[in-house]
Structure 1
């Protein structure tokens, strides 16, 4: 009886570990960079399986390691993908010449001019993504990341670095 219980416990642990590693993982929102869409302290699920079968899409909220130091995971929205032409004018995003309808975006400092309020136009390299937080004035994202050694801008994240997409349960 004890032996059977230990065996079943081991099987359950292996299945749970496999699910967490390859399918889904629970995460907490640690910063306000995605507000109002994702509130600080919210518990969410990270879908790790979808991108094994398809590529990330515009507008999806994804998790990836920080391109600056790689020590922490970040949550941002994909704004542009490889081959897209992106421009930001007066805080408004234009994708391939068309203004994006971003009703989920929050601006907390609408009267201030911030770095990243005007950027581009430039074309996103293939296999890369340009990402932004929904709380645009408070988000560290593709607009302002810099290489810690050279100080050069890091505008893009590699799609291969994306760990998964956020599943929103509304």
Structure 2
């Protein structure tokens, strides 16, 4: 192999290594892509929406696979706290191999209650213009729940498709360290190869 060929080979390998390192850093610390597989967040999120999620919205942490002392990764520093109304991705408490996406409803210390489908936070009804209603029936747990006090360091999560969401009403609150990140933007959306939803692409979340 000639000197020029050897140099070109080394340059190619270096470029590949740098690209892989950048991809790892971006996924571990900055953003991660997620696809919406279910209708639990309709109409805010559609099945087939593809999101970018910011991983530094609340905590900057070492990835769990390189920090062996904890399954959640070591927090380097906090950048903020989840707020009511945030749409976040988190580890499903019943099976942490799965990621769920829901809306933050109850903050640490809040008293949360559902009465005839209406959410009350600390005794006051919560304004929820994003909620989708599909069933007029009043059912226990789904539509009448609590009251409960959200533990310190945990969050009460609900889906916007309130009658079609499996959420904190059934499996409890989410620990802060189980939060993966906050929804940032829809970068792609389709129902099928012939149903690309261009009007949804670029939708940002506060």
Q: What's the TM-score once normalised by structure 1's chain length?
A: 0.90
Contiguous gaps of at least 5 residues in structure 2: 1-7, 60-78, 186-201
Does residue 15 of structure 1 match 2:22? yes
Does residue 116 of structure 1 match 2:142? yes
Between Structure 1 and Structure 2, whose CA radius of gyration is higher? 2
- Residue 19 of structure 1: SS of its match in structure 2? helix
Deviations 1:2-40 (A, max 9, x none): 211211221111011110111101110011000000000
- Deviation (angstroms), 1:116: 2.4
Q: Hey, what does 1:55 align to over in structure 2?
A: 81
Which gives a bigger RCO, structure 1 or 2 (Cα 8 Å, sep 6+)? 1
Contiguous gaps of at least 5 residues in structure 1: 146-154
2:47 aligned to which of 37, 40, 49: 40
Q: Hey, what does 2:177 align to over in structure 1?
A: 160
> How far apart in 2 are the matches of 1:7 and 1:75?
37
> How far apart in 2 are the matches of 1:19 and 1:71?
21
Q: What's the TM-score once normalised by structure 2's chain length?
A: 0.75
Cα RMSD for the two superposed structures: 1.2
Deviations 1:75-133 (A, max 9, x none): 00000011111111001101122111101001111235253211122211110100000
Q: Hey, what does 2:158 align to over in structure 1?
A: 132
- Residue 14 of structure 2: SS of its match in structure 1? helix
State the 4+ residue runs in structure 1 displaced beyond 3 angstroms: none
Does residue 27 of structure 1 match 2:34? yes
How many residues of Structure 1 are paired with residues of Structure 2 in the alignment? 161
